[in-house]
Structure 1
Amino acid sequence: MRKVYVLDTNVLLQDPQAIFSFDEHEVVIPSVVLEEVDSKKRNMDEIGHNARETSRIIDRIRNKGKFYEGVPLPNGGKVRIELNHRSFSKMEDIFPERTNDNRILAVALNLHHEEQKKANPKDVTLVSKDILMRVKADALGLKAEDFLNERAVKEDSIYDGFQEMYIQKEDFDTFFHTGELKLEGKIQEMFYPNEFVLMKNRDHPSQSAIGIVQPEQHKIEQCKFQNEYAWGIKPRNAQQVMAFELLFRQDIPLVTMIGKAGTGKTLLSLAAGLMQVEDLGLYKKMLVARPIVPMGNDIGYLPGEKEEKLKPWMQPIYDNLEFLFDVKKTEELDRILSGIGSIQVEALTYIRGRSIPEQLILIDEAQNLTKHEVKTILTRIGEGSKVILLGDPYQIDHPYLDEYNNGLVHVVEKFKHHPLSGHVKMLKGERSSLAQLAADIL
């Protein structure tokens, strides 16, 4: 049976293509949604971009029919702009304020009551990214759903980047002595390229080893950099060993790491980056950046020059650099960075339009990037560069993102099949026992 879906503004501002995501069903856009989209189209950020794209899509659809009748869509459904059904009579006792959210609720509620009077009523569902909007709809007896089409993964299924596996003693000894273990038959289909395997001796589970999958050679090989030191930093747990392997491998130009605060993502990446840029000369420069949430917002309201304006946003990066350079005062770090010249701390606001060859690019807090923004970054990467994306998907500051649809998780899931990328989920906090406890229970 065909259904009616009433779209909230935030659905279109999250994904302008959402109109085409409801198969053969009817999509209703309340007139107030058009007003809200119009109010955002001058924004010079991701929201503004999506508002303008939504306007263009609706204009193209307009040329194919009349919106008050419903315009057919390629998937068999239709879309219409709802100008009527704005009466508050059925909800004014509960939500009397004439806000835009309540106007959208009124349209959905009146359509629902109209359908109930028909011989074959259609289900009317409000689709919104706003949790409280869905709660209010439920209080009114309306069906309400989140828009899940843009999710990169289902709940609790974000790729970890590693697997645990118990193996026979003979295989364990072979791996220990030869540095590799052949993958035969269908067993290699269990793994993604550059996925790590935490192997344990079946007879003696306390004996373990870490390998990385090389599908083209049909083998698991030992990590080459598990005993590496970088600017005084050495891996302290299994996932940090995996991280170092990815950070130092020249054949893996895209590295993603997710994990809670204190797991060492940023410190390990900065240490590995400094070693490769300053000591080994593998890259001309290291570019370190964090998104100013939301990416694209001007930082002109902050006092001072650009470097002074960036300081509050980039302070976590500077904290890690102070630790690595073993300095006590910020002024010392400023003098060191200005003297080196090969380390650039930048805001992502200015990355669009650039081409970045032979550089190591480190993007912290990448969970606050949208799919469009992370595509913008990765398409800037030039030949000979390596990009590292770090973040915690469960600490989202962006108003339209969650742990399953942000740009970082999108990259993790889309690239896990490709040998040019590697990923690891950091599990154990190493900042302090208190920080680990706080990350777990708060």
Structure 2
Amino acid sequence: MAKKIFVLDTNVLLMNPRSIFSFEDNDVIIPMAVLEEIDDQKNKSSDLGYNARETSRLLEDLREKGRLDEGVKLEGGGVLRVVINGHKRELPQNISLDKMDNRIINAAIHLKKNSDKEVILVSNDINLRLIADAFGLKAEMHKADRLTDEDLYTGYTQCEISGNKIDQFYQNGNLSIEDIDSEIEFYPNEFINLNTPGEGSKQSALGIIENDKLVKLRNDKRNALGIKPLNREQTMAMEILLRDEVELITLAGKAGTGKTLLALAAGLEKVLKEEKYNRILVARPVVPMGKDIGFLPGTKEDKLQPWMQPIFDNLDYILKQNKSSDITFNKLVEKDRIQIEPLTYIRGRSVPDQFIIIDEAQNLSKHEVKTIITRVGKNSKIILTGDPFQIDNPFLDKQNNGLTYLAYRLREIDITGHIMLEKGERSELARIASEML
């Protein structure tokens, strides 16, 4: 197969510094404009800053093997080279080269005109790919960081078995995997919906994979502080939320499916009633507000109020279901039983003995998710919720965001669980708007 030349955009390196090693035996080009943008990010305390510094460190290590402008051999057999943008202008005169994106495209076009190899611009920026296409330059997303649609894990599957085996499941409380389907790979804490074959099927059962067996649910009759599951998907979510041995849970679904409500209700149940954890910690990334909220007027609480309002609304709804209780949100805060923070405020902390909820996790990169998970202390449980189809981060989508990636990568680990919630439980109007608009 003929070798290719891949020209990397800045966002590819800022999402994954090691992406330079993911192009097999092909050549990798980093335009000088990309290095300048990396340099602009290096002093930031965010994950972009960390990745910028990591990119610089990797390039420094490679520089010890030879001059980057002449090309350095990569492990896969390709060559990494930094190209200077002082060459001939390739873009029309009315296109400014003061803009970094235009300089990156200009460098790629120059390479295309002066090489026999196919030149491909790699960028996670959809607009840059569109501009590249307008100039006849092939462009694509960084494929190595992406899952396919087939990889997207739901956390449950449906199997057809005989009525006798379903009877056996109810009588014994469990069923061996071989009795279900010996060819399907089941994962720990995956839910299996059993049905007898045929359109007129009437026998069914729902179980969860535990120790290589399908077992009955423990919590299907329970509620969490008065909140009861309204459909089968919510029943599955509540089951793993209330299982103490499942320490990391991802809940994905569109608005109105109940993922955040269920997580908060389960957290309150575990903290207030069972006293399994000291407090609930709820955090959200502040992507739509910008990475830094310091420029906004008022106290931290004033700045966060609009962005955190959905959390407050859910808490208010849950607490109102317990009419016999005098628990209020303010009392929970005063007693330090709940803490609501922007995600940036928990960076660098170790978080033990807490029920942690990370909302809007679809806006997190893989590295950000990894950073969060590694901060979870002893006797803590962490739940990440989000809608992979509604992402505010311009360089993420349903196939490469941290929430989707985490569910896929950890699906074989027995202390993790995942549910994709699809059925909305808001008003009929909200459901129609979500599905049709």
TM-score greater than 0.5 by the shorter chain = yes
Deviation at 1:206, TM superposition (A): 3.6
Counterpart in the other structure of 1:118 = none
Deviation at 1:334, TM superposition (A): 4.7
C-alpha distance in structure 1 between counterparts of 2:178 and 2:134, whole Å: 57
Q: Which amino acid in the other structure matches residue 404 of structure 1?
A: Q
Counterpart in the other structure of 2:117 = 122
Deviation at 1:84, TM superposition (A): 5.2
2:14 is aligned with 1:19: no
Counterpart in the other structure of 2:324 = none
2:223 is aligned with 1:229: yes
SS in 1 for 2:249: strand
- For residues 9-47 of structure 1, give each alpha carbon's deviation from its aligned partner in whole angstroms, at most 9, with x where no partner exists: 121112111211111111111111111111121222111
C-alpha distance in structure 1 between counterparts of 2:402 and 2:216, whole Å: 31
SS in 2 for 1:104: helix
Deviation at 1:143, TM superposition (A): 1.6
Asked whether the equivalents of residues 365 and 392 of structure 1 are also in contact (C-alpha less than 8 Å), the reply is yes
Asked whether the equivalents of residues 85 and 107 of structure 1 are also in contact (C-alpha less than 8 Å), the reply is no
Deviation at 1:393, TM superposition (A): 0.9
C-alpha distance in structure 2 between counterparts of 1:82 and 1:409, whole Å: 35
C-alpha distance in structure 2 between counterparts of 1:260 and 1:248, whole Å: 22
Asked whether the equivalents of residues 194 and 205 of structure 2 are also in contact (C-alpha less than 8 Å), the reply is yes
CA RMSD of aligned residues (A): 2.1
2:209 is aligned with 1:213: yes
Question: In the alignment, which of 363, 367, 370 is matched to residue 368 of structure 1?
Answer: 363
SS in 2 for 1:149: helix
- For residues 227-274 of structure 1, give each alpha carbon's deviation from its aligned partner in whole angstroms, at most 9, with x where no partner exists: 112222111111001001100111111111100000000111111111
TM-score when normalising by structure 2: 0.93
2:107 is aligned with 1:112: no
C-alpha distance in structure 1 between counterparts of 2:188 and 2:260, whole Å: 24
C-alpha distance in structure 2 between counterparts of 1:318 and 1:193, whole Å: 33
C-alpha distance in structure 2 between counterparts of 1:283 and 1:126, whole Å: 49
2:320 is aligned with 1:316: no
Between 279-288 and 240-249, the greater mean CA deviation after superposition: 279-288
C-alpha distance in structure 2 between counterparts of 1:5 and 1:103, whole Å: 16
C-alpha distance in structure 1 between counterparts of 2:414 and 2:34, whole Å: 43
Counterpart in the other structure of 1:161 = 155
1:80–1:229 distance in 2 versus 1, CA, 3 Å? same
Asked whether the equivalents of residues 177 and 213 of structure 2 are also in contact (C-alpha less than 8 Å), the reply is yes
SS in 2 for 1:43: coil
Deviation at 1:225, TM superposition (A): 0.8
Between 138-147 and 96-105, the greater mean CA deviation after superposition: 96-105
2:243 is aligned with 1:243: no
Equivalent residues in 2 for 1:40-119 (5 A)? 40-83=41-84, 86-88=87-89, 90-92=90-92, 95=95, 98-115=98-115
TM-score when normalising by structure 1: 0.92
- For residues 287-330 of structure 1, give each alpha carbon's deviation from its aligned partner in whole angstroms, at most 9, with x where no partner exists: 11111228993322223332232222211100001111129xxx
2:191 is aligned with 1:196: yes
Deviation at 1:429, TM superposition (A): 0.1
Asked whether the equivalents of residues 44 and 297 of structure 1 are also in contact (C-alpha less than 8 Å), the reply is no
Counterpart in the other structure of 1:145 = 140
Question: In the alignment, which of 250, 259, 263 is matched to residue 265 of structure 1?
Answer: 259
Equivalent residues in 2 for 1:311-390 (5 A)? 311-326=305-320, 333-390=328-385
- For residues 81-131 of structure 1, give each alpha carbon's deviation from its aligned partner in whole angstroms, at most 9, with x where no partner exists: 11257322x43068466522121111111211112xxxxx21111111111
SS in 2 for 1:381: coil
Asked whether the equivalents of residues 295 and 348 of structure 1 are also in contact (C-alpha less than 8 Å), the reply is no
C-alpha distance in structure 1 between counterparts of 2:54 and 2:333, whole Å: 41
Q: Which amino acid in the other structure matches residue 431 of structure 2?
A: Q
Between 246-255 and 38-47, the greater mean CA deviation after superposition: 38-47
C-alpha distance in structure 2 between counterparts of 1:382 and 1:78, whole Å: 42
Q: Which amino acid in the other structure matches residue 103 of structure 2?
A: R
Q: Which amino acid in the other structure matches residue 365 of structure 1?
A: E
C-alpha distance in structure 2 between counterparts of 1:383 and 1:54, whole Å: 32
SS in 1 for 2:101: helix
1:438–1:235 distance in 2 versus 1, CA, 3 Å? same
Asked whether the equivalents of residues 125 and 394 of structure 2 are also in contact (C-alpha less than 8 Å), the reply is no
C-alpha distance in structure 2 between counterparts of 1:170 and 1:334, whole Å: 50
Structure 1 alignment gaps of length 5 or more = 116-120
Asked whether the equivalents of residues 189 and 416 of structure 2 are also in contact (C-alpha less than 8 Å), the reply is yes
Deviation at 1:434, TM superposition (A): 1.4
Identity of aligned residues (%): 48
C-alpha distance in structure 2 between counterparts of 1:343 and 1:9, whole Å: 39
SS in 2 for 1:411: helix
C-alpha distance in structure 1 between counterparts of 2:289 and 2:295, whole Å: 15
Structure 2 alignment gaps of length 5 or more = 322-326
C-alpha distance in structure 1 between counterparts of 2:88 and 2:62, whole Å: 27
Q: Which amino acid in the other structure matches residue 291 of structure 1?
A: P
Asked whether the equivalents of residues 167 and 202 of structure 1 are also in contact (C-alpha less than 8 Å), the reply is yes
C-alpha distance in structure 2 between counterparts of 1:71 and 1:190, whole Å: 43
Equivalent residues in 2 for 1:408-419 (5 A)? 408-419=403-414
Equivalent residues in 2 for 1:384-423 (5 A)? 384-423=379-418
Q: Which amino acid in the other structure matches residue 218 of structure 2?
A: K
2:268 is aligned with 1:274: yes
C-alpha distance in structure 2 between counterparts of 1:277 and 1:271, whole Å: 10
Asked whether the equivalents of residues 238 and 266 of structure 2 are also in contact (C-alpha less than 8 Å), the reply is yes
SS in 2 for 1:289: strand
Deviation at 1:356, TM superposition (A): 1.7
Asked whether the equivalents of residues 333 and 339 of structure 2 are also in contact (C-alpha less than 8 Å), the reply is no
1:289–1:80 distance in 2 versus 1, CA, 3 Å? same
Counterpart in the other structure of 2:297 = 303
C-alpha distance in structure 1 between counterparts of 2:15 and 2:338, whole Å: 34
SS in 2 for 1:396: coil
1:183–1:18 distance in 2 versus 1, CA, 3 Å? closer
1:404–1:311 distance in 2 versus 1, CA, 3 Å? same
2:9 is aligned with 1:8: yes
Q: How many residues align?
A: 429
- For residues 350-387 of structure 1, give each alpha carbon's deviation from its aligned partner in whole angstroms, at most 9, with x where no partner exists: 22222222211111111111112111211111221111
Asked whether the equivalents of residues 295 and 369 of structure 1 are also in contact (C-alpha less than 8 Å), the reply is no
C-alpha distance in structure 1 between counterparts of 2:207 and 2:138, whole Å: 49
Asked whether the equivalents of residues 163 and 203 of structure 2 are also in contact (C-alpha less than 8 Å), the reply is no
Asked whether the equivalents of residues 315 and 329 of structure 2 are also in contact (C-alpha less than 8 Å), the reply is no
